[in-house]
Amino acid sequence: MADPTRPPPGYAAGEADTGAAAGGPVLQSVMISPSGSAAIISGEMVRIGQKFGDSVLVKVAETEVVLRGAGGLQVLKLHPGVDKRPSVPPAQAVKPRRGKSGEARAGRAAPRQGER
C-alpha cells in the first residue's frame, strides 16, 4: 500500500537547495519521543542507529538529522534554506499616565481654576 502522506514523485525536484535536486537523500519528517527517535528520509523510516544506504543515523533534532558515513557527517535539514532565528520581543507598550483620581489621562491636563 502506498503512503498517502508521501509527496508525489518529482515534488521536491523543483525546489532549490534540496538534496533531491542533486539525487541525494531528502529529510521528509522527524519523530521524537521518549521511546526513541526516527526520521523519514527519502520515503524510508530510519531509527537512530539504523543504516540508511552506506550511512548511519546518529542524531535526530526538531529541524534536522545527522547521518555518519565514510565521507563524514551529513546534515539533512527538514526545511532547507530556512534559518531558525530567535524572535525579537515587541517593545513594551507605553502605559497611559494616571491622574490623582486614578483615571487615565492623555498628555497634559488643563490648568485648574486659579492655576496658570
Q: pLDDT tens, 78-103?
A: 988 777 778 777 665 556 666 666 55
What integer pLDDT is reported at residue 85 of this predicted model?
77
Buried b (16+ CB within 10 A) or exposed e, 75-98: ebbbebeeeeeeeeeeeeeeeeee
Dig out the grid coordinates for 45 from the structure. 523510516
Question: What is the maximum alpha-carbon separation in the chain?
Answer: 91
What integer pLDDT is reported at residue 116 of this predicted model?
57
What integer pLDDT is reported at residue 15 of this predicted model?
47
> What residues in the chain have per-residue pLDDT under 70?
10-22, 90-116
What integer pLDDT is reported at residue 107 of this predicted model?
56
Dig out the grid coordinates for 30 from the structure. 522527524
Compute the C-alpha angle 17/18/22, nearest 5°.
Answer: 100
